[in-house]
A = this chain, B = another copy of it.
């Protein structure tokens, strides 16, 4: 659903709104990327203990990483008894990435036309 507004100013605004540092901040750590890959490949929600098995650090660190991913909207958490179930927000994440790709290209095209 690209906007294709054609106006450079509008494109830059649209792009800046999508370029959220928090998302990239969340994904810039190798351990967190392992967690994301593991959560995606599992096809289901994982507990902290299960998630910890993909990366060689203490589970307390994994707990913190998952909390950070949750704050960034990459995962969703639900509590079942004493377990915490973390599930990747696959649809939101994928459409955010695609929307960003579209916004970048729209912006570039608009800028090219304007500077021509």
Tell me, yes or no, whether A1 is within 8 Å of chain B by CB.
no
User: How far, in angstroms, from A4 to B66 measured CA to CA in the complex?
Assistant: 28
User: How far, in angstroms, from A102 to B113 measured CA to CA in the complex?
Assistant: 30
CB of A101 within 8 A of CB of B111, answer: no
Tell me, yes or no, whether A57 is within 8 Å of chain B by CB.
no
Binding site for B on A (CB under 8 A): 8, 11-12, 15-16, 19, 21, 24-25, 27-30, 33-34, 36-37, 40-44, 88, 90, 93-95, 97-98, 100-102, 104-105, 107-115
Query: Can you report 26 residue pairs joining A to B where beta carbons are below 8 Å apart?
Result: A8-B43, A12-B37, A15-B37, A16-B34, A16-B37, A21-B27, A21-B33, A24-B24, A24-B28, A28-B28, A36-B104, A41-B107, A41-B110, A42-B115, A43-B108, A43-B111, A43-B112, A43-B113, A44-B115, A93-B101, A94-B101, A94-B104, A94-B105, A97-B104, A98-B101, A101-B101
